[in-house]
């Protein structure tokens, strides 16, 4: 499909479809080279300490039902410069501008709570725990915009299996890094730090819930939650916690950052639902980032962000207006 000629006068330029696709293809080729050991010395030097991670990321397309949407991925530039990562500022451009200070090595993820095998994983162990796959998911923010992103990771269930949750473990809590030295907004009053999130155990075990290490065939850029984040495609974006340092198995529904900040506005479930409005705005439609030109139509938001066939049964019989 040729790049559409866009009317001028936008506040910022957009990467053309063709350019972003070519760049994306090149990155994937590079990763394949690295994985196949065919890379020359110069390339190996370039890869430096990212080499290990890159090898792990040369994954295949996922076979999990619903894991690969045919929709056009959002331009890499947009997906990495229009972010929510409040530890680095509240403006969409802040994370790309400020997250260079994040230190992603060394990094450990502590897995604790109601499990038979609590364990601290080094990030390099996590990268090798299970084969990586590419998932192309829609991401829908509660603010009314959406993107399509090719993520790289493996099902969170792979990690969960290995730590053997006990019968009493009903929820999983994710705790993210809160480091004042490297995250300028930690300490500010916008949120209660650290940013935490949670899932019910069956949601956490669902194969679509992705433990994510990369996007567009590369390791995650800092602003997208390096070195490891969760992506839950049928829930509003804020459920997908970035830069995770702790995964805790608990009996009671855990508190979550946005629920603590505004209880009436952000519930625990936060399933994408066009029929349940945010108290201050409708959730019936969304704006796809990269399509916000003069003639772009808003898209209709889909129940469970379009993943109803895969996840609808998790909520059978639940009143989704009450459990929002």
Ligand X SMILES: Nc1nc2c(c(=O)[nH]1)N[C@H]1C(S)=C(S)[C@@H](COP(=O)(O)O)O[C@H]1N2
Q: Which residues bind ligand X (CB under 6 A)?
A: 83-87, 139, 141, 176, 195, 224-225, 237-238, 240-243
Distance CA 135, CA 206 (A): 14
Q: Which residues bind Mo ion (CB under 5 A)?
A: 84, 141, 237-238
* Shortest separation between residue 244's beta carbon and ligand X, angstroms: 8
171 binds, among Mo ion, ligand X, none (CB under 5 to 8 A by kind): none
155 binds, among ligand X, Mo ion, none (CB under 5 to 8 A by kind): none
241 binds, among Mo ion, ligand X, none (CB under 5 to 8 A by kind): ligand X
86 binds, among Mo ion, ligand X, none (CB under 5 to 8 A by kind): ligand X
* Shortest separation between residue 102's beta carbon and ligand X, angstroms: 11
270 binds, among ligand X, Mo ion, none (CB under 5 to 8 A by kind): none
* Shortest separation between residue 167's beta carbon and ligand X, angstroms: 30
85 binds, among Mo ion, ligand X, none (CB under 5 to 8 A by kind): ligand X
Q: Based on CB atoms, which residue is closest to ligand X, 47 or 199?
A: 199
Radius of gyration, CA atoms only, the chain: 19
Q: Mind spelling out the 3-state secondary structure of the chain?
A: CCCCCCCCCCCCCCCCHHHHHHHHHHHHHHHHHHHHCCCCHHHHHHHHHHHHHHHHHCCEECCCCCCECCCCCCCHHHHHHCCCCHHHCCCCCHHHHHHHHCCCCCCEEEEEECECCCEEEEHHHHHHCCCCEEEEEEEECCCCEEEEEEEEEEEHHHHHHHHCECCCCCEEEEEECCCCCCCCCECECCCCCCCEEEEEHHHHHCCCCEEEEEECCEECCHHHCCCCEEECCCECHHHCCCCEEEEEEECCCCCCHHHHHCCCCCCCCCECCCCCCECCECCCEEEECCCCCCCCCCEECCHHHHCHHHHHHHHCCCCCCCCC
Q: Based on CB atoms, which residue is closest to ligand X, 47 or 148?
A: 148
* Shortest separation between residue 198's beta carbon and ligand X, angstroms: 13
* Shortest separation between residue 236's beta carbon and Mo ion, angstroms: 6
Q: How far apart are the first and last CA of the chain?
A: 39
Which residue, judged by CB position, is nearest to ligand X in the bound state? 237
Distance CA 193, CA 178 (A): 6
222 binds, among Mo ion, ligand X, none (CB under 5 to 8 A by kind): none
Distance CA 153, CA 173 (A): 19
Q: Based on CB atoms, which residue is closest to ligand X, 39 or 286?
A: 286
Q: Based on CB atoms, which residue is closest to Mo ion, 249 or 258?
A: 258
* Shortest separation between residue 218's beta carbon and ligand X, angstroms: 13
Q: Based on CB atoms, which residue is closest to ligand X, 224 or 259?
A: 224
* Shortest separation between residue 79's beta carbon and ligand X, angstroms: 6
Q: Based on CB atoms, which residue is closest to Mo ion, 62 or 270?
A: 270
Q: Based on CB atoms, which residue is closest to ligand X, 77 or 162?
A: 77
């Amino acid at each position: 499909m040729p790049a559409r000629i866009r009317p001028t006068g936008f506040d910022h330029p957009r990467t053309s479809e063709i350019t972003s696709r070519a760049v994306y293809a090149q990155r994937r080729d590079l990763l394949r080279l690295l994985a196949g050991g065919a890379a020359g010395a110069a390339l190996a030097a370039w890869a430096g300490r990212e080499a290990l991670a890159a090898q792990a990321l040369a994954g295949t397309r996922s076979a999990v039902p619903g894991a690969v949407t045919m929709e056009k991925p959002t331009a890499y530039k947009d997906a990495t410069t229009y972010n929510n990562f409040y530890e680095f500022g509240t403006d969409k451009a802040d994370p790309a501008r400020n997250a260079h200070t994040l230190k992603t090595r060394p990094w450990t993820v502590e897995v604790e709570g109601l499990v038979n095998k609590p364990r601290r994983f080094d990030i390099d162990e996590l990268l090798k725990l299970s084969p990586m796959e590419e998932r192309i998911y829609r991401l829908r923010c509660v603010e009314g915009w959406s993107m399509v992103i090719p993520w790289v990771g493996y099902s969170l269930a792979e990690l969960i299996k290995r730590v053997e949750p006990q019968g009493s473990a009903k929820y999983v809590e994710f705790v993210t890094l809160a480091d004042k030295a490297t995250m300028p907004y930690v300490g500010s009053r916008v949120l209660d730090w650290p940013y935490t999130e949670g899932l019910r155990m069956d949601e956490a075990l669902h194969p679509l819930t992705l433990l994510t290490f990369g996007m567009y065939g590369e390791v995650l850029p800092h602003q997208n939650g390096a070195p490891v984040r969760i992506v839950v495609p049928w829930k509003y974006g804020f459920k997908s916690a970035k830069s995770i340092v702790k995964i805790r198995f608990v009996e009671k529904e855990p508190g979550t950052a946005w629920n603590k900040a505004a209880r009436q506005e952000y519930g625990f479930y936060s399933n994408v639902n066009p029929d349940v409005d945010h108290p201050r705005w409708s959730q019936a439609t969304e704006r796809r980032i990269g399509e916000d030109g003069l003639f772009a139509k808003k898209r209709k938001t889909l129940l469970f962000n379009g993943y109803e066939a895969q996840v609808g049964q998790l909520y059978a019989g639940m009143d989704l207006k009450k459990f929002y």
